[in-house]
């Protein structure tokens, strides 16, 4: 087998059926090997799109998403979405072509220290150095990507290894899977005691707990523990509009369990102004570095810290509690948190809307469409309109722009979701600023027969930055945020072979969604909206907005 065949057969053995890629010189051997292995290559219009798609594939399927990029600028174009995948805890394998080993130090074409570039935004990054390592490197990278805490892994594949004959007829055996770190009996006992003694515990879980294939288990875990579970996957953290006013409950929590949720800016770094001075904190995380960060930030408020798989530790604590004592009575606390999460009453006084369609009205109409759609999947990009979408649009499978706060990947993620779940109805909501990043991927959707419905909230500006300038500098100091009224985003879809429609009246939204679905084509609905700032519910008005 050639080196490229070793790589591709290793992927196929791991169940990989689809790779997202943009072609280039150094990866042509891998393309050729994919033909014989029956692996589909979805080829995109920009390398970043391929990584966003691999991220979404991982989120939707629960398996590893694979992106394949060429060397040099190709790899560089795909780095930013790796940060999103890392913070979204998405198991992504990024494979990149690389300059030949034999030309190291000679000024090879597109030579670059690729692992040096990707290491800060991956769990691990390496350049494969020998033929003997190729298949094992793929197996090891996939295992690492899927291990807690899940995340992206990068392998750089030198061209001369891909084209060399390995001398092997079969793949080496798969390595044994490493067990996840488990909490010991003493730690489980301490955790069970903390939960039993708490009057108002709150479990804060990370993005992985929000995935459709895991979320039900986390909700059931919360019911067993009689402790509400909040899954935090937004860069706005506790101000995530999809959580309603749940953040206001933190002041009443006497025990906070960080179950795989990093203590970071999304939690105000654990400051007493956010957690409350009397709250005790338990930290359960598979990453030793994050456990140590929590020790440093929390000091004496840290009641328990354990390097472990958090779900398993909580299940073990629930098992022990059920054997030793009746479940604590916390019905009032559970109702309080549930009511706060459900609230959609805005704090403060929203800016008056102009004659264009209200952001909330648009999102509520989309939600009515999703409620009757077949196997709905909703993708909410970032920015101000993205926050309206996250507040009012939901489905059994939901993808958001993630803790890293990148915008622009929503359309790519929607296309990958549709490819992963062909029978699903996939809707992506994004602003007109966000749409500019990857609107050409509508061409990819047409070629890949992935009829997604893109709803663009068009307020003629980069509204998140507009709101920051308005708040910080005043209406006379607005600069660099306006977008053109002459832009016709729906016409781009039409020009690329899809369906496009402009909506300028609220009464037209429902019909436009039905027409888009009936078209059977990738669709773009350009909706004129009023440019409201992102919604803030409950007592958090006045805090800074972000992506």
CATH of the domain at 251: 3.40.50.1220
Same domain, 364 and 512: yes
Q: For the residues 110-128, what does the mean pLDDT come to? A: 97
Residues 328 and 372 occupy one common structural domain: no
Residue 183 clears pLDDT 50, i.e. is over it: yes
The answer on 337 and 305 residing in a single domain is yes
| Whether residues 240 and 131 fall in one domain | no
Residue 69 and residue 196 in one domain: no
CA 355 to chain centre: 34
CA distances from 276 to 252, 256, 257, 267, 487 (A): 8, 10, 14, 12, 48
Asked whether residue 175 is assigned to any structural domain, the reply reads no
148, 249: one domain:
no
Q: Residue 505 pLDDT > 90, yes or no?
A: yes
pLDDT band at 381 (very low <50, low <70, confident <90, very high): very high
| Residue 541 pLDDT greater than 50, yes or no | no
Alpha-carbon radius of gyration of the chain: 24
pLDDT band at 319 (very low <50, low <70, confident <90, very high): very high
Which pLDDT value is given to residue 353?
Answer: 53
Contact, 114 vs 125, CB < 8 A?
yes
Last residue of a domain, one of 310, 342, 374: 342
What is the predicted pLDDT for the residue at 377?
98
* 274 lies in the same domain as 385: no
The encoded tokens of residue 370 equal 């999703």
Could you read off the pLDDT of 48-104 as tens digits, one per residue? 999 999 999 999 999 999 999 999 999 999 999 999 999 999 999 999 999 999 999
Same domain? 224 vs 281? yes
Residue 352 lies in a domain: no
How many domains does the chain fold into?
A: 3
Say whether the peptide bond before residue 149 is cis (omega within 30 degrees of 0).
yes
Mean model confidence pLDDT for the chain: 94
Structure tokens at 186: 């003493």
292 lies in the same domain as 426: no
Which of 110, 132, 163 is where one domain is finished?
163
Whether residue 387 lies inside any domain: the answer is: yes
Domain presence at residue 134: yes
- Within a domain: residue 180? no
Claim to verify: residue 218 and residue 142 sit in the same structural domain: no
Judged by DSSP in three states, 125 sits in strand
The token pair at 343 is 């609230």
**Is the predicted pLDDT of residue 324 greater than 60, yes or no?**
yes
474 class by beta-carbon count within 10 Å (0-12 exposed, 13-18 middle, 19+ buried): exposed
CB 320 within 8 A of CB 189: yes
End of a domain among 309, 342, 375?
Answer: 342
Helix axes 212-225, 310-324, angle to 10 degrees: 30
Q: List beta partners, residue 153.
A: 93, 124
Find the mean pLDDT for residues 490-506: 97
C-alpha to C-alpha distance for 238 and 247, rounded to whole angstroms: 5
44: left (phi over 0), alpha (psi -120 to 50) or beta: beta
Residue 374's SS3 state is coil
In contact, 42 and 448? CB cutoff 8 Å: yes
Residue 486 belongs to what H/E stretch?
A: none
Residue 84 to residues 80, 452, 509: CA-CA distances in angstroms? 7, 22, 31
Share of the chain above pLDDT 70, in %: 97
SS3 201: strand
Q: Is 11 helix (H, G, I), strand (E, B) or coil?
A: helix
* Residue 546: predicted pLDDT: 59
Q: Is the pLDDT of residue 349 over 60?
A: no
pLDDT (0 to 100) of residue 456:
98
Containing structural domain, residue 89: 3-163
Q: What is the pLDDT of residue 544?
A: 42
Task: Tell me the C-alpha distance between 160 and 155, whole Å.
Answer: 15
pLDDT value, residue 162: 97
Q: Which two tokens stand for residue 293?
A: 């960060």
Percent with pLDDT over 90 in the chain: 89
DSSP 220-289: HHHHHHT--EEE--STTGGG-GGGTTGGGGGGG-SEEEEEB---SGGGGGG-HHHH-TT-EEEEEES-HH
Token digits of residue 339: 């009511």
Query: What's the sign of the alpha-carbon dihedral 456, 460, 462, 467?
Result: negative
106 and 43 fall within a common domain:
yes
The predicted model gives 429-453 an average pLDDT of 97
Distance CA(404)–CA(382), nearest Å, equals 10
**Would residue 73 count as lying in a domain?**
yes
Phi, psi of 417 (to 5 degrees): -60, -40
The verdict on residue 174 lying in a domain is: no
- Helix, coil or strand: residue 14: coil
At 543, the pLDDT band (50, 70, 90 cuts) reads: very low
What's residue 354's pLDDT?
62
Category of 443 on φ-ψ map: left (φ > 0), alpha (ψ -120 to 50) or beta: alpha
pLDDT of the residue at 276: 81
DSSP SS3 for 492: helix
Same domain, 155 and 203: no
Q: What is the mean pLDDT of residues 426-454?
A: 97
Is residue 68 a part of any domain in this protein?
Answer: yes
Q: Check if the beta carbon of residue 493 is closer than 8 Å to that of residue 454.
A: yes
Query: According to the model, what pLDDT value does residue 540 have?
Result: 44
d(C-alpha 343, C-alpha 539), whole Å: 11
The number of CA neighbours under 13 Å toward the Cβ of 304 is: 27
pLDDT tens, 215-248? Answer: 999 999 999 999 999 999 999 888 899 999 999 9
Asked if 106 contacts 72 with a C-beta cutoff of 8 angstroms, the reply is no
Q: Which domain CATH number covers 152?
A: 3.40.50.970
Is the pLDDT at 186 greater than 80? The verdict is yes
Of 425, 426, 429, which Cα lies nearest the Cα of 409? 429
| The pLDDT value given to residue 538 | 80
């Amino acid at each position: 087998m050639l080196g490229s065949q070793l790589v591709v057969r290793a992927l196929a053995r791991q169940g990989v059926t689809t790779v997202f890629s943009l072609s280039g010189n150094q990866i042509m051997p891998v393309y050729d090997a994919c033909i014989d292995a029956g692996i589909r290559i979805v080829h995109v219009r920009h390398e970043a799109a391929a990584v966003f798609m691999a991220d979404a594939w991982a989120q939707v399927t629960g398996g590893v998403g694979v992106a394949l990029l060429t060397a040099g600028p190709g790899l560089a174009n795909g780095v930013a979405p790796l940060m999103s995948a890392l913070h979204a805890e998405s198991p992504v394998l990024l494979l990149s072509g690389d300059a030949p080993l034999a030309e190291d130090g000679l000024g090879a074409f597109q030579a670059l220290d690729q692992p040096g570039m990707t290491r800060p935004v991956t769990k691990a990054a390496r350049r494969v150095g020998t033929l003997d390592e190729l298949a094992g490197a793929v197996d090891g990278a996939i295992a690492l990507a899927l291990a807690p805490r899940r995340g992206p892994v990068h392998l750089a594949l030198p061209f001369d290894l891909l084209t060399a004959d390995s001398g092997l007829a079969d793949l080496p055996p798969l390595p044994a899977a490493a067990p996840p770190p488990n909490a010991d009996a003493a730690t489980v006992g301490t955790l069970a005691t903390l939960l039993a003694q708490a009057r108002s515990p709150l479990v804060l879980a990370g993005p992985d707990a929000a995935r459709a294939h895991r979320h039900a288990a986390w909700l059931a875990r919360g019911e067993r523990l009689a402790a509400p579970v909040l899954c935090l996957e937004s860069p706005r953290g506790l101000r995530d509009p999809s959580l309603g006013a749940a953040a206001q409950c933190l002041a009443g929590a006497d025990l906070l369990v960080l179950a795989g949720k990093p203590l970071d800016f999304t939690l105000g770094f654990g400051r007493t102004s956010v957690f409350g001075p009397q709250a005790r904190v338990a930290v359960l995380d598979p990453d030793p570095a994050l456990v140590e960060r929590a020790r440093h930030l929390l000091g004496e408020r840290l009641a328990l810290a354990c390097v472990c798989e958090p779900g398993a530790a909580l299940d073990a604590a629930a098992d022990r509690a059920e054997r030793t004592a009746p479940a604590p009575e916390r019905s009032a606390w559970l109702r309080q948190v549930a009511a706060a999460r459900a609230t959609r009453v805005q704090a403060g006084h929203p800016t008056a809307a102009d004659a264009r369609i209200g952001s909330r009205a648009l999102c509520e109409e989309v939600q009515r469409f999703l409620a009757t759609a077949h196997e709905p999947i909703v993708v909410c990009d970032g920015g101000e309109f993205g926050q309206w979408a996250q507040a009012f649009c939901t489905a059994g499978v939901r993808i958001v722009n993630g803790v890293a706060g990148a915008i622009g990947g929503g359309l790519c993620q929607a296309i990958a979701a549709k490819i992963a779940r062909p029978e699903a109805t996939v809707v992506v909501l994004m602003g007109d600023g966000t749409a500019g990043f990857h609107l050409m991927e509508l061409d990819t959707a047409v070629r890949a027969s992935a009829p997604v419905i893109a709803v663009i909230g068009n307020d003629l500006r980069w509204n998140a930055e507009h709101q920051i300038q308005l708040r910080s500098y005043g209406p006379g100091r607005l600069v660099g945020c306006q977008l053109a009224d002459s832009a016709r985003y729906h016409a781009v879809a039409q020009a690329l072979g899809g369906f496009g429609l402009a909506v300028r009246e609220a009464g037209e939204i429902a019909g436009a969604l039905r027409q888009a679905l009936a078209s059977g084509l990738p669709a773009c609905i350009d909706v004129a909206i009023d440019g409201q700032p992102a919604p803030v519910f409950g007592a958090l008005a006045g805090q800074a907005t972000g992506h």
